[in-house]
Amino acid sequence: RLIQTIMAATMMNKNVVLSKVCTKPAATPKISSNKRGFAITIANKNREMMVWQPFNNKMFETFSFLPPLTDEQISKQVDYILTNSWTPCLEFAASDQAYAGNENCIRMGPVASTYQDNRYWTMWKLPMFGCTDGSQVLSEIQACTKAFPDAYIRLVCFDANRQVQISGFLVHRPPSATDYKLPADRQV
């Protein structure tokens, strides 16, 4: 939303005051207008065209491009989940089964073209229907991590009204995991 506001203000040639605590970026992008009068940004040459690294560049669900979340950040996400009346639930999977793949599924023409194995992880206990705050989820994360230290653990949430999973994100990576890379390292 912030980027949209800045772009809209730039196109209308208006100044935008973000906040006194915002810092100025290291290199301010140059703004010029095209033939039709729309503002365009000229990016830095080194970031102009990046190619996504296709090899050994695995990611998980929401927030997997970020560094591992702290307990405080996880607790805030749980608060958001509970505010929306969703039900949190923990799932875990061994390192070799954590990523979705289609290497071992039987192909029968285009019928199974989008089938992926390992989509479902083992559930840690039951969904936390009576959960009221983030500390309850954090204690379950600690218990799951203690029981399965070499497993990936993710927090998912379900919407009982729509009968769907709303979100899912990692809350624990095994100590042996080498999958996390900075976004800049995921590009060529």
- Helix, strand, coil tally for the chain in percent (to 5): 25, 25, 50
Question: Does residue 156 sit in helix, strand or coil?
Answer: strand
Among 89-93, 111-115, 144-148, whose mean pLDDT is lowest? 111-115
Burial of 118 (0-12, 13-18, 19+ CB in 10 A): middle
All residues at 6 or more sequence positions from 61 whose CB lies less than 8 Å from its CB, including other chains? 154, 167, 168, 169, 170
Tell me, rounded to whole angstroms, the distance of Cα 103 from its chain centroid: 24
Place of tokens 């089964």: 97
Q: Do residues 166 and 159 make contact, with C-beta atoms less than 8 angstroms apart?
A: yes
Q: Do residues 144 and 156 make contact, with C-beta atoms less than 8 angstroms apart?
A: no
Once rounded to an integer, what is the mean pLDDT over residues 56-60? Answer: 71
Q: pLDDT tens digits, residue range 94-143?
A: 887 787 665 555 555 555 555 555 577 899 999 999 999 999 999 999 99
Q: Do residues 131 and 66 make contact, with C-beta atoms less than 8 angstroms apart?
A: no
pLDDT category of residue 24 using cuts at 50, 70 and 90: very low
Q: Does pLDDT of 8 surpass 90?
A: no
